[in-house]
Homo-oligomer: A and B are copies of this chain.
Amino acid sequence: MAASGVRPRRKPRDRYHHGDLRRALLDEALRTIHQDGVEALTLRTIGLALGVSRTALYRHFADKRALLSAVATEGFRMLRGRLVEVWGSGGVREFNEMGVAYVQFAIANPSHYRVMFGGFVDDGPRDEELTREGMAAFQALVDAIAALQKSADVRKDDPLQLARFIWATVHGVSMLIIDGQLSHQHAQLDDLIQFAMQRLQTGIAAGPARTRN
C-alpha cells in the first residue's frame, strides 16, 4: 500500500515551501491530541497528515518536546482567555463561575490539559513562553482574588498564597475527573464541582470571627 493511499488532510505539497508550516504543525498536533490523545501523537503521523516528511518538523521545533511545549502554551492561552471572559470584573458569583469554567475546560480538553501539566515538559529547562503564559493564566486568578479582597468578600491573606490554594483545588478536581478517579456521571460531577466551589468559598471568605479554628 503506497503513500498515496493515506489521504493527507490538507492539500499536499502544492508549493515546495509550505505557507506557515510551524503553525500547521502546531494545529495538527492540537487536533490529534484533542481527538486521539497525546499517546497517538507521533512525528510520522503529523508529517503524513500535512503531506511533508516526518523530519520537516525539525526546521521549526527543536524536538517533539518543544512541540508539546507549544501545545501547552496554547492551552494556557485558551484557558486564560476563558477565565478572564467569565470573570469580567465580577464578584463572588463570577468567581464561582470562573472555578466551574476552569474544571469544564479540563473536562472538555482532557489530553490537552494533561500536556499543560502532567510532566511531559518537565525535564530540562522549561520553555520561556510557556512559563510566561502559565503565569499569565495564574495572574487572572490573583487579580480576581485581589478584587474580592477589596470588596471584603475574601479574607486579607497573601493573595498569591490564596491563589495557589484555589488553583490547587480546581486543579485537583480537574485531574481526578479526567483521570477517571471520580464518577463518570455528568450530574454527579456537576454536583461535586458546585460543592467544591461552595466549600472553597467558605474557606477563603472574610467572615465574622469564628469561635473555633
Contacts and interface: CB of A to CB of B under 8 A. Distances in A.
Contact of A213 (B39, B170, B175, B207): B207
A181 B162 CA distance: 15
Contacts of A202: 202-204, 210, 213
* Max chain B Cβ within 10 angstroms of own Cβ: one of A114, A162, A213: A213
B179 A168 contact: no
Interface string A187-213: 000011001101111111101101111
- How many chain copies does the complex carry? 2
Given A118-B118, A119-B114, A164 B180 contact: no
A203 B207 CA distance: 11
A167 interface: yes
A58 interface: no
A192 to B, nearest CB: 6
A197 B179 CA distance: 24
Interface of A: 39, 114, 117-119, 122-123, 126, 134, 153, 157, 161-162, 164-165, 167-173, 175-176, 178-182, 191-192, 195-196, 198-205, 207-208, 210-213
